[in-house]
Chain A
């Protein structure tokens, strides 16, 4: 039997997709920006921001240290110390800006790439490496710094964030929650369900989508035909698109959204328009699906060099400051390298720990079986 060609049925590339969405090259008109790629301050009356020189220097320090940590982790993966790494390279401003907008009691629900947010929450960077080294599935106490565990299943955590935010409302507390996810995740049912629940219950949750243009090899155009931030309108809450490589804009917009949520006005969707400069993870090969011209074009918008340009242009930091940050960055790199290498493998009985909060007969039985089996090798002939 011969199969007829179905080529006639195949559709051409979708019409009507705006170029800005297709390529990400041109900053769309609706992008909130407070610091140009050249390091110039611009004002946005809707999102005013006053920052002291000291705060600007602190943000710069965050960006540099987070990038260093991330680079170190990538190197450690190459050296075989980590099984995998999901780099945040290029997304530092989106994460530091939004992370620094949070108050102590706010709660963050990350994906697997939010190393910069973890940094802002005060989570020890070494804790983030346990999962990637394979010694645990997260392992930190999420309530210690109000930073939830990394979530691998795309979009799941947006519902946890929303439920947590519903709890805040019930408690009558004035806290807010921020849920991180990617542009790929916006297609998941859970994210759309989270939008519905958050909207209907007016939950104090800020949805922070880092549109880094790619979901592994799939461009944003495979997930949506409209700019992502506009999705919010359909669910009945505001959506804002912010320059995700502009730490000041991310800070201002997220602070506004969190304040708004805290005051009882419900959720906001922030689309941080940014770019993943590296591979999706260390096992990915981006040369198979995107052009180097594209990556080059985004390099010109680098979040760190633009803040540095601003600090230099305005004379807000001197060589001594930059040298001090670089030294700190070296020290962090060393600490991470040594910390990872000396990270102990877990005792195999970890398998049976914490399966349940209360005793469970089967787990107890299998643990005893395992221990007896393991002991049969020790001291045996």
Chain B
């Protein structure tokens, strides 16, 4: 395959899912003729028909709730929420119904529903178009939560998500939609495996989704100063591949978690706590966190100040190395 942007890679992923299984459906607002506001579903309705690529009413709870019903009937819906900030009306259906149906039925029913959400910031959008709500979902048992950081992962992780018999929250870092890369012929990793994307010896940067690229840039910059940083892409936020993370920290002795969501009560808190438990005697410094502030996502003119950038990451790296 030639190089594809992440949005095109997801499009191809959806296409192959629709081709592979006639029970797979794509549903959401504007996913048909328009191809979605990010064109991620571009051309799918033309090729698979209105019956399988469904423009829905503007009702997020309705979209997820009916997807649950379709799953009960044997379908495999892939739902698009137009933007991160609009998933909240569907939050009830996701956490009280979708996540728990399998357990309530003592395993008799499966919920193969994938919920695709363009999330996180950095694109200069207006209010409610830049939020990182991964912790809400990862906090809910019964959901799987994953987020690719590059086109290859986006393609294969989407296919793996759709094939899963569990509900998957598939978070698409919208600032990375336009990044291009080659798609491999087969998936290199399990859906829930973390990946060392840059090896190093002095400190581990833990990142996922949009901040993986930021951390790779930070690692490249740190190299100028003689610091060899390892970057690990979590890829999956529930479950988390702790063995891979812990192995990295045992090698480097230091870790900094970087995400866009507010630091308080976020993924970083969980990572720091667990990794401290698991790697206490290997750590040379506390696990530090870099992320958004405990404030609503700001207007776009100041979002650069809110988002963890190269400098903030490197500043944390310096603090960790100074211990």
Given A156-B93, A163-B67: A168 in contact with B73 (beta carbons within 8 A): yes
| Contact in complex: B70, A355 (CB < 8 Å) | no
Contact present for B68 and A160 (CB under 8 Å): yes
Which residues of B are found within 8 Å of A161, using beta-carbon distances?
69
Query: For A158, what are the chain B residues with a Cβ–Cβ distance below 8 Å?
Result: 65
Name which of B105-113, B218-226, B256-264 contacts chain A: B105-113
> What separation, in Å, do the CA atoms of A190 and B69 have in the docked complex?
13
- In the assembled complex, A47 has its CB within 8 A of some CB on chain B: no
A148, B72: Cβ atoms closer than 8 Å: yes
Q: CA of A360 to CA of B192 in the docked complex: distance in angstroms?
A: 9
Chain A residues touching B, majority SS: helix
On whether the beta carbons of B238 and A167 are closer than 8 Å, the reply is no
The reply to whether A156 and B109 form a contact with Cβ atoms under 8 Å apart is: no
B43: Cβ under 8 A from any A Cβ? no
B165 touching A160, Cβ below 8 Å: no
Q: A100: shortest Cβ distance to chain B, in Å?
A: 23
The answer to whether the Cβ of B269 comes within 8 Å of any Cβ in the partner chain is: no
| Of the residues A136, A171, A196, A362, contact of B62 by C-beta under 8 Å | A196
Task: State which of A149, A356, A361 has its C-beta within 8 Å of the C-beta of B104.
Answer: A149
Minimum distance in angstroms from A336 CB to a CB of chain B: 21
* Chain B contacts for A141, CB-based, 8 A: 105-106, 108-109
Given contacts A143-B109, A162-B69, A163-B72, contact A361 B142 (CB under 8 A): no
Q: Chain A residues with Cβ under 8 A from B73's Cβ?
A: 163-164, 166-168, 171
Residues of B within 8 A of A354 (CB): 102-103, 105-107
CB-defined contacts of A104 to chain B, threshold 8 Å: none
Verify if A41 is at the interface (C-beta below 8 Å from B): no
B158 nearest CB across to chain A (Å): 17
Closest-by-CB residue of B relative to A366 is B141
User: Quick check: B107 and A353 within 8 Å, CB to CB?
Assistant: yes
How many Cβ-Cβ contacts under 8 Å join chain A to chain B?
150
Cross-chain contact A159 with B69 (CB below 8 angstroms)? yes
Comparing B176-184, B208-216, B239-247, the segment that makes contact with chain A is B239-247
Number of residues of chain A lying within 8 A (CB) of chain B = 44
Q: Does A278 contact B (CB under 8 A)?
A: no
Q: In the complex, how many residues of chain B place their beta carbon closer than 8 angstroms to a beta carbon of chain A?
A: 47
How close is A7's CB to chain B, nearest CB, in angstroms? 36
- Between B75, B100, B101, B105, the greatest number of chain A beta carbons within 10 A of the residue's beta carbon is seen for B105
B143-164 with Cβ < 8 A to chain A: 144, 164
* Cβ-neighbour of B68 out of A163, A168, A197, A355 (below 8 A): A163
Question: Given known contacts A161-B69, A361-B239, is B75 in contact with A167 (CB within 8 Å)?
Answer: yes
B104 near A156 (CB under 8 angstroms)?
no
Q: A190 to B105, Cβ gap below 8 A?
A: no
Identity of the chain A residue whose Cβ is nearest the Cβ of B51 in the assembled complex: A170
Nearest-CB residue, chain A, relative to B67? A163
Q: How far, in Å, is A353 (CB) from chain B's closest CB? A: 7
In the bound complex, CA of A193 to CA of B109 (Å):
24
B2 part of interface (Cβ distance < 8 Å): no
A358 adjacent to chain B (CB < 8 Å): yes
Those of B34-70 within 8 Å (CB) of chain A: 51, 56-57, 59, 61-62, 64-70
In the assembled complex, the Cα of A164 lies from the Cα of B92 at a distance in Å of: 19
For B69, the chain A residues whose CB sits under 8 A away are 159-167
Looking at the assembled complex, report how far the CB atom of B12 sits from the nearest CB atom of chain A, in whole angstroms. 24
In the assembled complex, which residues on chain A have CB atoms less than 8 Å from the CB atom of B92? Answer: 153, 156, 190
Given contacts A142-B105, A356-B142, is CB(A153)–CB(B96) below 8 Å? yes
Whether B296 sits at the interface, judged by CB under 8 Å, is no
Give CA–CA (A358, B111) in the complex, Å.
11
Q: Shortest 7 CB-CB distances between A and B: which pairs?
A: A163-B69, A159-B65, A167-B73, A163-B66, A193-B62, A141-B108, A164-B69
Complex A-B: 28 CB contacts under 8 Å: A138-B106, A140-B108, A142-B105, A149-B105, A156-B92, A156-B97, A159-B69, A163-B69, A164-B70, A165-B69, A166-B73, A168-B73, A170-B51, A189-B59, A190-B61, A194-B66, A196-B57, A197-B62, A353-B107, A354-B103, A354-B106, A355-B102, A355-B103, A356-B144, A357-B164, A360-B144, A362-B239, A363-B141
Sample of 5 further A-B pairs with CB below 8 A, known A138-B106, A156-B97, A361-B239? A156-B65, A156-B96, A166-B70, A167-B75, A189-B61
